[in-house]
Amino acid sequence: MTENNAPVGWQGIVLDAPADWSLVAVSGDDKKGYFRVDSPIASAVEVKWERASGKAPDLMVKGREFLSTIEKSLRKKKIKFSKDIKQDKSDPNAVNFLWRADRLGQGRLVYCQQCQRVIIAQITAAREENVSTIAPDMLGSIRDHREDGWIEWALYGLGFAVPDGYTIEKHVLMSGYIALFFKRGAQTLVVERWGLASTLLAKDDMEEWYRKDAVPDIKGYKVNFEPDEVKAHQGLKIVGRRSGIKQMAKAAFYSLTLHPHPKYLTGYVWHCADSNRLFSVRAAHVEDDDITEKVRDLIKCH
């Protein structure tokens, strides 16, 4: 990956796109889903995935079916369509294709034997827009597994990974605020990023701002703050313990299951002046779990 590229991905499926391309749509889960990344002009890359059932699929058949769907749609509009599809010579689990109509399309199908997912990635562009120089590298960069088994997430320059078993519960994707909320049993993990940090901290110090902005979302834990240097930046460590009758009832319930109720909350928030952003990672966890620190250390803030 070059300095002009940045990883973009959802549910562990990631590719490297030009840094000025933006994620504009996401849907689905790890079994079946979709995301789209748009260029500043008119081109875009779309990525779809679906869990294959039974034996390994015939990618040539899958590819022809995919192209046939595009062709039928364009034929109805009386738009000429041509296509080409070939087995990847260097990868038996990949197929490459091209198509030409009023727009140009270049794509790749990949089958992952480990997770049994079929991934289809396609770059579309206006005929006058030349993406041939970047398409091979983008399509060739598709990956769906980290060596450590964690699940990778990457969007708007924010990249990190979470342990297998944590599923995304909800997300907020705004120009000045990004938040992803994960859960595994009763344990939770939240990763957040705010823009325009200098404005947010203009009237309040970091602890005052965070208490107003984020602490109201922390339910069932009594939290304290400690000054801390985080990734060589001014920051805070958040330490919390379970409190309240409701939390005691939940703990009693989860004690009867295989998912112990998290007694502790650990978090970090820091101000990256270089990027003028604020970052936060916090997790509700069981004893001796360092997930917060591991996720924090994966984030590159500038």
CA distances, 39 to each of 29, 100, 158, 199 (Å): 24, 19, 18, 29
pLDDT band at 213 (very low <50, low <70, confident <90, very high): very high
pLDDT value, residue 251: 52
Q: In one letter, which amino acid is 129? A: E
Query: CA quadruple 137, 142, 148, 153: dihedral positive or negative?
Result: positive
Same fold, 5-140 and 151-298: yes
Higher pLDDT, 258 or 148: 148
90: exposed, middle or buried (C-beta count within 10 Å: 0-12, 13-18, 19+)? exposed
CATH of domain 5-140: 3.40.1000.10
Give the residue among 108, 104, 112, 98 at the shortest CA–CA distance from 129.
104
Q: How confident is the model at residue 17 (pLDDT cuts 50, 70, 90)?
A: very high
Residue-level length of the chain? 302
Ranges of each domain in the chain: 5-140, 151-298
Reported as a single tens digit per residue, the pLDDT across 80-110 is: 999 999 999 999 999 999 999 999 999 999 9
Q: Confirm whether pTM is higher than 0.85.
A: yes
Q: How far apart are CA 106 and CA 113, in angstroms?
A: 23
Under CATH, to which class is 151-298 assigned? alpha beta
Where residue 3 falls among pLDDT bands split at 50, 70, 90?
Answer: low
